[in-house]
Amino acid sequence: YSWRVVIWLSAIAAFIMLLATLIWFRELGANGIIRHPGKDKQSGLHQSPQPSIKQLFTNTRPSSWLLSLIFFLYSAGIFQVMTIGPAHFEETLVGFDKTDLVASLSMVASIFLSPVIGRLIDITGKKDLPAIIGLIGCALFLLLIPTIGFNSIIMMLLLGVFIALILPALYAYPADIVQPGQMGFVFGLISATFGIGISSGSFVVG
């Protein structure tokens, strides 16, 4: 069915996300607290005036911009493995026609490990150590994968281990650096820089 099946699967996933989101937000009050049946839906809390987008951009703490820069550099580097990786694996895995699958194995590994790493971060309260280890590990593997002749499948799975260290730690940082009322803005900021990193990284690599 060629590329069309990817679009259809994405559409199904998006529809499921829409339903899940609608169900989730029905359970939330105006201040983000989960409502319980039989209780008043209104929180009754005084809402302080919200700053404008311009004020948020100008007053955002430097640590928020630094976190956004880390997301930018991470996505600019790691996602190119999935983009141009198959061309490299066609050379190293002669006769193996599932090179696209090999290129995505790093994400498969992180799927299973990320919740565990996230829970360990909750227990220990340490975000810096897994983030630093993960970022250094990813950087080293991006150098090693195209230069040494070790098994490509194992290399990509090990890369996924370091990815699993990075993302839970980075996504947990905004809670430490901004007020709850500005969390949405900071997550929007890192999402934007994440996307810019993917697109600009592709241009540079291409």
Threshold 0.85, pTM exceeds: no
pLDDT in tens, the chain (206 residues): 788 998 999 999 999 999 988 888 776 655 555 554 444 444 444 455 666 666 666 667 788 888 899 999 988 888 888 777 777 777 777 667 777 788 888 888 888 888 999 999 989 988 889 999 998 998 898 888 878 767 788 888 888 899 999 989 988 888 888 877 778 888 898 999 999 998 888 888 77
Burial class of residue 159 in the structure, from the number of CB atoms within 10 Å of its CB (0-12 exposed, 13-18 middle, 19+ buried): buried
Quote the CA–CA distance of 70 and 189 in Å, as a whole number.
Answer: 12
Q: Report the C-alpha dihedral over residues 81, 82, 85, 89, rounded to 10 degrees.
A: 130
Beta bridge partners of 28: 34
> How many CB atoms are located within 10 Å of the residue 128 CB?
9
Q: Report the C-alpha dihedral over residues 30, 31, 36, 40, rounded to 10 degrees.
A: -60
> Which segments of the chain does DSSP mark as H helices, in order?
4-26, 53-59, 62-92, 99-103, 105-124, 128-144, 152-172, 174-177, 183-205
Quote the CA–CA distance of 91 and 103 in Å, as a whole number.
Answer: 13
Q: Report the C-alpha dihedral over residues 107, 111, 73, 6, rounded to 10 degrees.
A: 50
pLDDT for residue 19: 92
Q: Return the exposure string of 87-113: e unless at least 16 CB atoms fall within 10 Å of the residue's CB, then b.
A: ebbeebbeeeeebeebbebbbebbeeb
Residue 151 tokens read as 């098994």
Residue 111 has φ and ψ, to the nearest 5°, of: -60, -45
* CA nearest to 161, candidates 121, 91, 101, 114: 114
